[in-house]
Amino acid sequence: MVGLFVLMVGISPQFGINGDERFQVDYSKKLWSYYTSFGKETSALYIPEGNMHLYGGLFEILAISTQKALGLNEEYDPAFHIIRRVLCAIFGFITIYFASLMAKNMGGWQAAFLTAVMLILSPRFFGDCMVNPKDIPFAAGFSIGLFSIANFIRTLPNPSISTVAGVIAGSVIAIGTRAGGLLLIVFLIFFVILYLGGSFLSNSQLQSHQVWKCIRYTIVICVVSYFGGLLFWPFGLVNPLYNPIYALNEFSNQPIALSILFKSQHFLNTQLPLNYLPEWIIRTIPITVILGIFLFIRRYHDHTIPRLEASVLTFFILFSIGFTLIRHSSLHDGWRHFIFVYPAMVVLAATGWLVLFRNTGSPLLSKIWPVVLGLLFTENIYSIIHIHPYQYTYFNPLFGGLKKAYGKFETDYWMLSVKEAADWIKLHEESRPKDSTITIATNCFYPSRVFLGDSLLGIKTAYVRYYDRGEKLWDYGIFYSRFVNQYQLSHHIWPPKGTIHTIDADGIPLCAIVKRENIDDYLGYSATAKNDPVAAIRHFSKALEYDPFNEKAAMALSIVFLSVGQPDLAEKALNQSLNSFPDNPGAQEVMNKIQASKKKLNNK
């Protein structure tokens, strides 16, 4: 375990910046102001951008406290973010460690070792351990909490102080990260009720003073856990009886609407199909885990599997996923919000494999099955090394891997590839006068500014949405594939014309570096703004000669043609736009205007 800790912390700085961290860093600053002013500075209580006030601040408080202690106060300094990477890795290690302890209670040290190996060799989980400061601390809290709850139930009515402390610590971490941590308190109460009910129905009934002892322990744990978690969460703390429940409801119905690519279709995250979550999970966890869970289900009633741990973990997984499916809660990219259930899934999978090893009924098979598992692990090892540091984009080979998923599912939705793109630009950018400045346009503004923000390099970063890239002047562009239409991804229209380098994972482009070789589209927009249709038509036409797949320039040309009474040419230009972007949301409106104009001309 010491070696694993050193490995995870050691490689964590190699990973990029999660694009959501601009919200989280801002929240950490507001938390610092809130606590250092003893609650007088209240900006942390309401943060509409990103709804960060609805999250606990445990990770952010740890991060900014460490940064302040080390004198790292500039958020656009890459060193500032190394602290966040290291803390993520530490919470990831804690998650693995306590999941292994859960497994030990299930099947001994062999199960613990196998669980640790399976978690480490889960590429997507491993990648999240480095870059996910919301969900990995949350998973750590649940790993500690579930392990301790099982121990607590087993040792009632006389649990040890360390067991009680474990339940509290796990709950505090989980609640101090996200309101969903309240589920640990619910699980604790549920299993205590089952324990007391089972005792009442069995021959070994508890004495009344023992029952009250169990209840007192439970009440103390719940109260201390609840308010302990709120200590790191100002919004929850100011109204502890209402705000945590309000936040939990808000998370179940995310107020932020985002476009999500799923199975070659774009959905709003508030309107995802029911199979979204289970399909993402089955496509992105290793085959070893899938088979292990299948083996566990087949052997669930095996006498060697401890009933308590098996029941706690199974109920936890089914309840967590089932509740989301029943509520039809809105989700974000992938299943990162449900990583907290994954360690429990791996514990069950490892148990399934061990039960198979121990009950083969044949000395030969008892030697063959571990070899089979080892061979399956080689794919995981290869993927972790091959797509480093983009392990979180992993799709298992059962469904064709990352190459088959490209254009059908989101890949680098967190902009991690920007770090490598920025390094490439700084290394390969053409020589220029020392006092000159280049502008880099990007739809990944925050990480680009962090990794290209050194003013000594003469680099200026500017935010631009990918489909609006022609409307601004820039020298280079860094564009990641998130929010690019699936048609353009699957038909290789993206990366766009002018791309001089791509950042890839398994041969799939995650991010494109574009050199601006033609500015006619920009000149066309400028001419349109000046009400000069002749110049606009000339420049947009030249832009399309350079890049026939410039969907926005073609549509802009169509609008200009329409404005000068040439609907046939407008229709031709719009069809060119639709050829490269069939789902263009504004195209139908323009087409309706074109048809109306043609009808009007025909009626004259």
pLDDT digits 0-9 by tens, 499-515: 999 999 999 999 999 99
Report domain extents, the chain. 2-386, 418-515, 524-602
Instruction: Give the per-residue pLDDT at 454.
Output: 63
Whether the bond into 273 is cis, omega within 30 of 0? no
Residues with Cβ < 8 Å from 233, sequence gap 6 or more? 55, 56, 57, 58, 175, 176, 244
What is the tally of helices (H) and strands (E) in the chain? 25, 7
- Residues of the chain falling short of pLDDT 50: none
For the domain made up of 524-602, the CATH class stated in words is: mainly alpha
Taking the complete model, does pTM exceed 0.85, yes or no?
A: yes
SS3 582: coil
Instruction: Tell me the two tokens of residue 143.
Output: 């790993």
Helices (H), 482-566: 486-490, 520-529, 533-546, 551-563
Q: How do residues 555-585 score in pLDDT, each as one tens digit?
A: 999 999 998 888 889 999 999 999 999 988 8
Q: At what angle do helices 567-580 and 587-602 cross, to 10 degrees?
A: 160
Instruction: Give the per-residue pLDDT at 366.
Output: 74
Rg of the chain in Å (alpha carbons): 28
Instruction: Give the per-residue pLDDT at 253.
Output: 64
Closest CA to 476 of 542, 527, 426: 426
Half-sphere exposure (Cβ direction) of 256: Cα atoms closer than 13 Å? 11
Exposure b/e, 456-469, CB count within 10 A at least 16 = b: eeebbbeebebbeb
CATH of region 418-515, choose from 3.60.15, 3.90.1570, 3.40.190, 3.40.1130: 3.40.190
Asked if 418-515 and 524-602 have one fold, the answer is: no
Cα Dmax for the chain: 97
